[in-house]
Structure 1
Amino acid sequence: MALSPDLIAILVCPQCKGKLDLEANEAAFVCPACRLRYPVREGIPVMLVDEAEPTS
């Protein structure tokens, strides 16, 4: 399921309120500032800091 461009445009990192980058496969949003990866599960972005994974 493709994510809505309108949704992608308004999402920000819940921790720092910075810009998020969407992975090419739309599996997660990545915050370059916090170095956190927010997963997309069943087409729904999980924007919880507790659910985020650190990026390498």
Structure 2
Amino acid sequence: MNKPFGMIPALTIPFKEDNSINYDALEQNLNYLIERGVHCVLNTSCRKSECYHCRQH
């Protein structure tokens, strides 16, 4: 497991009007963060072992 470092924003999940996940918007959000150098995101609806999602160097 990678050690989290730097800014770790909470990942928000965008939903459609029918309450399904808007995967296109989610991908756009993640790409926006990655393009700006974010290495980890915090999943706000997770168990402790799943909270950090970090890219390997």
The TM-score with structure 1 as length reference comes to: 0.25
> More helix by proportion, 1 or 2?
2
In terms of fraction of residues, the more strand-rich structure is 1
Larger radius of gyration: 2
Considering Cα pairs closer than 8 Å and 6+ residues apart, tell me whether 1 or 2 has the greater RCO.
2
